[in-house]
């Protein structure tokens, strides 16, 4: 069974205001896990539990949402991480050529684990790991995915 977690982030406070947990193919649809505040909404993040390679994750996010997740601050990173259950590595939109977000946006925020990035010749894609840190990995590795929809 595939699960999707919808996270609504509001600006300018960049604080988690609402997230949804959805079961794909279920007649029950999505259930809100907190109160909604929609006036300033600028986008949603979706956790897709089905493991895929980074390239397949990118294609899926672009087909069904907007792109892989772009995380621009520590608070956004924490909100996304706290919403993923069980704690597992998940693809986000940063890749090495040089390190750029999949939507071509630039951000100076990084949350590397110690000694990462650590394999410049072979590990070109990035996942957030269970310790809430970012790690470069082989793009063919199978991880769940975090997508975003709408503006960042």
7 has pLDDT over 70: no
- Name the 3-class secondary structure at 12: coil
Backbone angles phi, psi at 75, to 5 degrees: -65, -40
Q: For 131-143, write each residue's pLDDT tens digit.
A: 889 999 999 999 9
Q: Average the pLDDT over each of 19-23, 38-42, 98-102 and give the range with the smallest value.
A: 38-42
What's this model's pTM, rounded to 2 decimal places? 0.72
- Cα separation values, 78 from 17, 70, 84, 137, Å: 13, 13, 10, 21
Question: Could you tell me the two tokens for 112?
Answer: 């590397």
Return the percentage of the chain with pLDDT > 90, whole number: 39
Q: pLDDT band for position 43 (50/70/90)?
A: low
- β-strand partners of 127: 91, 135
DSSP code, position 113: P
The pLDDT score that the predictor gives to residue 2 is 53
Every domain of the chain and the residues it spans: 3-149
Cβ-in-10-Å burial (0-12, 13-18, 19+) of 62 comes to middle
The predicted pLDDT at position 64 comes to: 93
Average per-residue pLDDT in the chain?
76
Q: Answer whether residue 30 shows pLDDT above 50.
A: no
Whole-number Å distance between alpha carbons of 7 and 80: 7
Query: What's the rounded Cα separation, in Å, for the pair 152 and 142?
Result: 26
- Whether the per-residue pLDDT at 124 is higher than 80: the answer is yes
pLDDT tens, position by position, 45-75 = 888 989 999 999 999 999 999 999 999 898 8
- The DSSP bridge partners found for residue 98 are none
Q: Which class would CATH give 3-149?
A: alpha beta
Q: Can you give the pLDDT at residue 84?
A: 74
Give 27's pLDDT tier (boundaries 50, 70, 90): very low
């Amino acid at each position: 069974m595939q699960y999707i977690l919808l996270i609504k982030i509001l600006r300018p406070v960049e604080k988690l205001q609402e997230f949804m947990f959805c079961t794909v193919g279920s007649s029950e649809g999505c259930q809100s896990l907190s109160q909604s505040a929609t006036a300033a909404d600028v986008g949603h993040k979706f956790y897709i539990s089905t493991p895929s390679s980074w390239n397949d994750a990118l294609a899926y996010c672009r087909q069904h949402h907007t792109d892989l997740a772009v995380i621009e601050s520590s608070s956004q990173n924490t909100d996304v991480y706290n919403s993923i259950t069980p704690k597992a590595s998940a693809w986000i939109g940063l890749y090495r050529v040089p390190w750029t977000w999949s939507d071509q946006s630039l951000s100076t925020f990084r949350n590397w684990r110690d000694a990462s990035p650590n394999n410049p010749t072979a590990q070109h894609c990035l996942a957030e790991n269970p310790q809430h840190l970012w790690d470069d990995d082989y793009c063919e590795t199978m991880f769940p995915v975090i997508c975003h929809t709408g503006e960042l």
